[in-house]
Amino acid sequence: MNISITFRHMDATEAVKGYANEKIARMQRFLRTPLKAQVTLSCQHDRLHHIEVDIHAGHDHFHAHETSEDMYASIDKVVDKVERQIMTAKKALTAKKKGADRASAHLPAYVAVED
């Protein structure tokens, strides 16, 4: 797992860096391959905090960005967006399994036999 955090137009603090690192590292539990993440934290107009996240895991690529007045809220929102993208991709992958929909249609119905 490789997480790179970049600060733009703001001072780098260990608290924000640790918080972002912890939140992005949690995404690894949803992925099968090790993730490589690029997180960019920036401050715009002295009060808007912008965060952008790129995550690469094998052949999968996830990207999200968020802007708000609180950096921690922006991190939470962008993590929710990325998590939703990962879960959607996993559901699409399992739905595409070869013959899954056809096989379930041809299964015999369970019939209860009374004695």
Q: Are 81 and 66 in contact (CB under 8 A)?
A: yes
Superfamily of domain 2-106: Ribosome hibernation promotion factor-like (3.30.160.100)
pLDDT of 111 over the 60 cut: no
For 47, list phi and psi in degrees, rounded to 5: -150, -20
Domain spans of the chain, in order of start: 2-106
Q: State how far the Cα of 98 lies from the Cα of 81, in Å rounded to an integer.
A: 29
57-108: pLDDT as tens digits:
988 999 999 999 999 999 999 999 999 999 998 888 777 766 656 666 666 6
Q: Are 66 and 84 in contact (CB under 8 A)?
A: no
Residues 6+ apart with CB under 8 A from 22: none
3-39: pLDDT as tens digits:
999 999 988 899 999 999 999 999 999 888 899 999 9
49-58: pLDDT as tens digits:
999 999 999 8
H helix or E strand, kind and range, residue 38: strand 35-44
